[in-house]
Amino acid sequence: MGLFKGALKAGLAATAVQIVRRQAAKPENQRRAKQLFNRLVRRTGK
């Protein structure tokens, strides 16, 4: 049973990584990420 749970978790993690990569490749999401990063940098004052 432990081996099955490990394989299931690995499969779910791999799927999640694929989804994140697909979303990160989209230009509108890249723009949003840059805006968020800039806001965080301004907020910390660095």
Report if residue 4 sits inside a domain: no
In a domain, residue 45? The reply is yes
As for how many domains the chain has, the answer is 1
Distance, CA of 30 to CA of 40 (rounded, Å): 15
Domain that holds residue 36: 19-46
Residue 7 inside a domain? The answer is no
Distance CA 31, CA 23 (A): 12
Cα(1)–Cα(16) distance, rounded to whole angstroms? 23
Cα–chain center distance at 38: 18
Q: Which residue is it, tokens 């949003």?
A: 32
Residue 9 belongs to some domain of the structure: no
pLDDT score of 45: 75
* Lookup: tokens for 18: 């694929």
Q: Is 1 inside any structural domain? A: no
The answer to whether position 8 is within a domain reads: no
Local confidence pLDDT in tens for the 46 residues of the chain? 789 999 999 999 999 999 999 999 999 999 999 999 999 999 987 5
pLDDT for 26: 96
